[in-house]
Amino acid sequence: MKNLQIVFGIAIFFFFLSCQPQQEGKRGTQQMPNILWLVAEDMSPNIPPFGDSTIQTPNLSRLAAEGVRYTNVYSVSGVCSPSRAAITTGMYPNSIGAHHMRTLYQQPAAREKGLINYECVPPAEVKMLSEIMRQNAYYCTNNRKEDYQFFPSKMAWDESSIYAHWRNRPEGKAFFSIFNFGVTHESNLWNPGYRHFDHDTFPPPRGKKNFWKGFENGAKPWAISDSLQLNIPPYLPNNDIVRKDVRRMYSNIAEMDKHVGMILNQLEKDGLLENTIIVWFTDHGGPLPRQKRLLYDAGIHVPMIIRYPHQKAAGTIDNQLISFIDFAPNLLSLIQVKPPDWMQGRPFSGQYKPDDSRSYIHAAADRFDETYDMIRAVRDHRFKYLKNFHADQPYYLPLAYRENMASMQELLRLRKENQLDSLQMLWFRETKPEEELFDTANDPHELHNLANDPNYTAKLIELRKECERWMNEIEDKGFIKEIDLIETFWPNKIQPITSNPIIKKKKNRIHISCLTEGASIGYKLAEDEKDGLGWRIYEKPLNMKDNQPLKVIAHRLGYAVSDTISIN
């Protein structure tokens, strides 16, 4: 019934929009709602709207009261780059070769193993979500994290920078704007510096360099009370060192909530609140040891709130299973655009939502920095199945980046001194079972493997078959050695280059093409340079005045960008 209420509310909203006069903008018309994505990093559902009252988050609590809480949302990975690849393409990272963390910037230890910085190369037909939104007359901005396992298409954004904001759009144009909040990132559990922003002056003035210097100091301020009561998960020691990291985690969440409030205040001040679909979510699970990078729920279960215009379905809860690969097709469904067939996700709302709901979500873990593993996960509403393809190696693998964390160092010290209890030692087993099965309703921390319990044989077989079916269907690239995968993307470790655009002029009409399959073509007029706009997407011949300056570029995802061609 609640899902029907949401769908009905959205339908009424679109009917209302269709009765309004169109507002003409510089490029395109505003016929559809604005879309605002607010994205936190490295965070499980540790806020009051999802049952954790350790701290107060007034802005997110308001958003939840005015919106819909989605309680069964899952990342496809326990880490950011593969997750963001899925969000922007609607495809599983292990189906397009984006599953290793990470490809663009290798850690020193990974480079010592011979790995190069490389971009994964998705199939030719794949476009970034924002490029598709731009093709549908949206002004698209990203502030500012990208990290997709490939560099974004030159046609992906009107602007992607710390200065990007819907306020820079042409008058009357609908927008799709993303703001990323890095304060909750794992690294902010140990960084001595603390970069944060003035809640009234963000974003900084365009062109201002080192904007954070006025807000940076050597000791992180605390955003929560000293007397905060903490619940420490049983897989971590309950001592002062771990408690300090958990306390910092909550402090960072409180700071993030202030940042969310800042953006919401700006939206409301601009009079755009009731013409905007607001989506808040996190890019994967929590930052603590045995959370981030793993496929337990602590690593992939995320909170999501959507506030629909005019508070449609306000205060309701939606329990349907949702995967990150559903985000792109769902957004298109909300703006009444049919998702392309190559997307592997499915809308969970809007015009193109299928009649049935998801039965399973899927996730993958492969290389993280310098360490390799291969784990696949399938989850239904209650049970989680894990397939360990390298059962002969430990679950815990050394990771230099993670070992900056005080609680990780403490875990390693206590292990060396044999002071961890049986639950805390599970992560440090010398080998892994080939299969794991958890009842997440009765065992939310996934500590008790039921794979060998005859009472759960039927469920084990069901999820095992689903895992095999999924991996075969998407042609899982986890079985390909990374060095060979790189060779398929970049033969001889040399990046392919997008062919230069071919320009033909017939009278005052400019025809542009590119020989590289799947390449997008962009162009800029003289006024675009002055306005600071991104590359316009070429879709049909251009009518040009005599001697009117024009710049043209072509770019396929994973390829190097073509030369910029200038004509007069």
Instruction: Write out pLDDT tens, residues 461-486.
Output: 999 999 999 999 999 999 999 999 99
One domain for residues 70 and 202: yes
Q: Is the pLDDT of residue 237 over 90?
A: yes
Shared domain check, 506 and 486? no
pLDDT tens figures, 276-293: 999 999 999 999 999 999
Question: Is residue 191's pLDDT more than 90?
Answer: no
- Say if 465 falls within a structural domain: yes
Choosing from 490, 525, 558, the residue where a domain stops is: 490
Residue 102 lies in a domain: no
Which residues have C-beta within 8 Å of that of residue 257, sequence separation ≥ 6? 47, 57, 58, 59, 60
Catalytic residues: 80
Does residue 311 lie in a domain region?
yes
Q: Which residues, 6+ apart, have CB-to-CB distance to 229 below 8 Å?
A: 54
Domain range enclosing 24: 2-96+127-354
Q: Highest mean pLDDT range out of 108-112, 199-203, 365-369? A: 365-369
CATH number of the domain where residue 311 is located: 3.40.720.10
| CA–CA separation, 318 and 320 (whole Å) | 6
pLDDT tops 50 at residue 23? no
CATH code for position 443: 3.30.1120
In a domain, 9, yes or no: yes
**Looking at the DSSP assignment, which residues form a beta bridge with residue 560?**
497
Mean pLDDT of 120-140: 98
Cβ(144)–Cβ(161) under 8 Å? yes
CATH number at residue 544: 2.60.40
Q: For residue 28, is pLDDT > 50?
A: no
- The verdict on 304 and 428 lying in the same domain is no
279 and 425 part of one domain: no
User: pLDDT band at residue 5, thresholds of 50, 70 and 90?
Assistant: very low
- Which is more confident, 216 or 557? 557
Q: Is residue 228 part of a domain?
A: yes
> For position 220, what pLDDT does the model report?
75
Q: Please indicate, yes or no, whether residues 199 and 88 belong to a single structural domain of this protein.
A: yes
In a domain, 253, yes or no: yes
pLDDT of residue 508: 86
Task: Please compute the mean of the pLDDT values over residues 371-385 and round it to a whole number.
Answer: 98
Confidence of residue 27 (pLDDT cuts 50, 70, 90): very low
Between CA 395 and CA 267 the distance in angstroms is 45
Q: Kindly state whether residues 456 and 314 are assigned to the same domain.
A: no
Which of the pair, 195 or 423, is modelled with greater confidence?
423
- Confidence band for 218, pLDDT divided at 50, 70 and 90: low
Spatial neighbors of 454 by CB under 8 A, at least 6 apart, are none
Identify whether residues 343 and 441 lie together within a single domain. Answer: no
Q: Residue 11: pLDDT band by 50, 70, 90 thresholds?
A: very low
Measure the CA–CA gap between 476 and 99, rounded to whole angstroms: 10
Q: How many domains does the chain have?
A: 3
Give, in degrees to the nearest 5, the angle at Cα 534 between 533 and 538. 120
pLDDT at 214: 56
% of the chain beyond a pLDDT of 70 = 91
